[in-house]
A = this chain, B = another copy of it.
């Protein structure tokens, strides 16, 4: 087992143990946010036939070669084609066909004239122009041809993809399975939110935070509850998590006399790959794999901010990869520091910062108390500023990278028009 890894080493080691989960076939309506595990190849043409882009009249251009505003040409309206009806007739010389948007172009026609450009008079229509070849005609297969690769494996399914799959006649599609994440907290001081907090007990809020972090990334949390600080209680809970793809425990992994997690993991055949990452918050992070089930095991520190940050930095990318995503990391922005930051060199700090747009650039300042027990700055901040391990100072005015955790920070105040 390695120890005191750099953050990048720890992440590389975790991602090296992580692969997209096997596929499952789901209804297209339930596939939103999932990642395709198959190549989607079209078996039909879209649009299915040459069709009209406008409400108007299908015509033969040859009939209109002499048409002008001064000398419109009158054509007989021979028939009408509604959308969804295959044309029963061909268009002959001197004829026009009433046509609606999306309706199939009849044989013989080679353009559509918009209804606002013509004058209808009873059974005939006066047309004051010669349309361009195939004007207002959408070609069959313009969007999709049969045999065409439409969606590649690894594509995240959004609204347009759902519509496309439906248009292709697909109601079921293969996607990567959602990671199932067993969550457990340990500590005799922990109670559920409706529990009694007298005598220094605290709510096991990590299970709420971590479950929400799982859901945000499309994983499926299974909350195993609070384990008491005994090897027997911990073992029982860990065994309940063996069916999961990932087991995440918070607390119980440091070196205190009451930290039994590592002993229990060893008993369950968990080979710890590392313990301890040179970061703050979150140093006592442990990572391994259960020999029996192959589940990944993350032992997160118990402090609320440490647990949340280590999930964000190390568990989230692993879960995104398991779900099949290619993009694993949060948006990064470059932000100018409004104030000096200092620390001892040796550990990389994730500094909770508030971001603000100021005159075309982004300015960052501390979101407050950087104690790993203080959750408030975590939720008031917009992101985590990466204060590199070997640095001891970032001067006011310097520019640093910030991981943006609050997606609303990137939203625009106006729509751009």
Q: Which residues of A are in contact with B by a Cβ distance under 8 Å?
A: 7-8, 11, 28-29, 32, 44, 46-49, 51, 53, 55, 82-86, 98, 100-104, 115-116, 138, 142-144, 150-151, 156, 158-171, 187-190, 193-194, 197-213, 215-216, 229, 254-258, 302-304, 308, 313, 317, 325-332, 348, 369, 371-376, 378-379, 386, 388, 401-403, 405-408, 410-417
Q: How far is the CA of A414 from the CA of B386 in the complex (A)?
A: 12
Known contacts A103-B200, A167-B202, A216-B159; A189/B84 CB under 8 A: yes
Q: Are A85 and B199 in contact (CB under 8 A)?
A: yes
The residue of chain B having its C-beta at the shortest distance from the C-beta of A207 within the complex is: B166
Q: How far is the CA of A199 from the CA of B104 in the complex (A)?
A: 8
> Given B44, B200, B317, B415, which contacts A317 in the complex, CB threshold below 8 Å?
B415
The answer to whether A85 and B142 touch (CB under 8 A), given A115-B255, A163-B304, A167-B304, is: no
Give 7 new A-B contacts, CB below 8 A, not counting A101-B303, A166-B205, A330-B411: A7-B415, A11-B415, A84-B188, A84-B190, A138-B373, A159-B216, A161-B379
CA distance A271 to B160 in the complex (A): 31
CB distance from A35 to the nearest CB of B (A): 10
Contact of A371 among B101, B104, B142, B197 (CB under 8 A): B142
Residues of B within 8 A of A403 (CB): 412, 415-416
Assess the B216–A101 pair: CB atoms within 8 A. no
**In the complex, A401 Cα to B413 Cα: how many Å?**
13
Partner pick for A205 among B167, B198, B411, CB 8 A cutoff: B167
Residue of chain B at shortest CB distance from A6? B417
The reply to whether A406 and B256 contact each other, CB–CB distance below 8 Å, is no
Closest chain-B Cβ to A205's Cβ sits at a distance in Å of 4
Residues of B within 8 A of A402 (CB): 416
Task: Known A169-B194, A190-B84; judge A159-B371 contact (CB<8 A).
Answer: no
B29 touches A208 (CB 8 A): yes
What are the residues of chain B within 8 A of A210 when measuring CB–CB? 159
Cα A371 to Cα B137 in complex, Å, equals 11
> What residues of chain B lie closer than 8 Å to A413, measured between beta carbons?
327, 329
CA distance A345 to B160 in the complex (A): 28
Instruction: Find out whether the CB atom of B193 lies under 8 angstroms from the CB atom of A159.
Output: no
Chain B residue nearest to A380 (CB atoms) is: B160
